[in-house]
């Protein structure tokens, strides 16, 4: 089977991705939630997400949201491909991957918002804000686990090493079955 290397993920997308991995993991798993460091790392997560939202409009081709619009029809097509063994490879984000990205960006924005609310006089100590914040942490954690599982699954199913592509920026794609999506 012939393959073709394609530069997909620009350095800023990769820096964003791995910085977000480190900062979210640190805040969710290591740093004391009551500490000032937790707040500053949370602001860093917010800054990263805001950068990614901007880059989604002005960035490189595969970083732009227009290259992976949320499409229930395309997502169902990907699920059908998976169920029937059809091996269609996507150059950029897959349709299901697009939904995960939008999910994570929205959840992280909401998480940062509730985290900030907890630092204000108006919402400090308000139970529902803390509960929503904690629920969002768990939602993002579950989403991250699902994201990692999907990356491993799709890497094995399609033969494209997706983690390597997020490190190098280059996807090595089989020429057969490749789509421009």
List pLDDT tens digits, range 31-70.
999 999 999 999 999 999 999 999 999 999 999 999 999 9
Residue 150 lies in a domain: yes
What is the Cα–Cα distance from 31 to 96, expressed in whole angstroms? 31
Q: What is the CATH number of the domain that holds 49?
A: 1.20.950
List pLDDT tens digits, range 70-125.
999 999 999 999 999 998 889 999 999 999 999 999 999 999 999 999 999 999 98
**Domain enclosing residue 152, as ranges:** 3-169
Residue 79 lies in a domain: yes
Residue 87 lies in a domain: yes
The torsion angle over the Cα atoms of residues 109, 63, 51 and 37, rounded to 10 degrees, is: 70
Residue 118 lies in a domain: yes
Residue 176 lies in a domain: no
User: What phi, psi does 131 have (nearest 5°)?
Assistant: -65, -40
Residue 91 lies in a domain: yes
Domain count across the chain: 1
What is the Cα–Cα distance from 157 to 70, expressed in whole angstroms? 22
Residue 181 lies in a domain: no
Residue 160 lies in a domain: yes
Burial class (CB in 10 A: 0-12, 13-18, 19+), 11: exposed
What is the Cα–Cα distance from 140 to 155, expressed in whole angstroms? 22
pTM for the structure as a whole: 0.93
């Amino acid at each position: 089977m012939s393959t073709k290397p394609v530069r997909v993920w620009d350095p800023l997308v990769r820096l964003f991705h791995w910085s977000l991995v480190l900062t979210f993991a640190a805040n969710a798993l290591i740093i004391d939630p009551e500490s000032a460091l937790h707040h500053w790392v949370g602001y860093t997560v917010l800054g990263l997400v805001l950068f990614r939202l901007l880059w989604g409009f002005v960035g490189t081709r595969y970083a732009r949201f227009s290259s992976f619009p949320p499409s229930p029809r395309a997502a169902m097509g990907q699920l059908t491909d998976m169920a029937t063994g059809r091996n269609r490879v996507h150059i950029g984000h897959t349709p299901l991957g697009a939904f995960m990205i939008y999910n994570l960006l929205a959840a992280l924005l909401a998480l940062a918002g509730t985290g900030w609310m907890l630092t204000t006089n108006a919402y400090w100590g308000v139970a529902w804000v803390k509960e929503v914040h904690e629920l969002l942490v768990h939602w993002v954690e579950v989403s991250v686990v699902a994201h990692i599982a999907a990356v491993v699954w799709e890497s094995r199913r399609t033969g494209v090493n997706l983690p390597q592509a997020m490190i190098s920026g280059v996807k090595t794609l089989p020429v057969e079955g490749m789509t421009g999506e």
